[in-house]
Amino acid sequence: VFQGRILARRFVGQETRYEVEVQTPYRHRFPLVAREYLWVPNTCGCPQLREGGEYLLMARRHVNYERTL
């Protein structure tokens, strides 16, 4: 869980990649750096995050063992 500001949005295949500036981390299950990528499937019924907007985000970590992302 962290508070962040959306810096950019990019559509990549079936997902949307948000570049997020981490402002305030609240839970430390894994370390966060100043900028993180947040991936969201395009099939999600969630509203899109707008660039420049600040949000309280809850995400889970995904490790890509193929190292393609």
Q: What pTM does this model have?
A: 0.78
Residue 26 lies in a domain: yes
* 62 inside domain: no
pLDDT for the residue 31: 81
Is residue 41 included in any domain, yes or no?
Answer: yes
Q: Is residue 69 one of the residues assigned to a domain?
A: no
Predicted confidence (pLDDT) per residue in 19-46, tens digit: 999 998 887 777 888 998 888 888 777 7
**52 is in which domain, residue-wise?**
2-57
pLDDT value, residue 8 = 96
Q: Are strands 2-12 and 35-41 parallel, antiparallel or unpaired?
A: unpaired
Closest to 21 in 3D by CA, of 40, 43, 49:
49
- The reply to whether 19 falls in a domain is yes
Predicted confidence (pLDDT) at residue 6 exceeds the cutoff of 70:
yes
Residue 12 lies in a domain: yes
Contact assessment for residue 17 and residue 37, using Cβ atoms and an 8 Å cutoff: yes
Q: Which two structure tokens, joined as six digits, stand for 68?
A: 């393609």
Total number of domains constituting the chain = 1
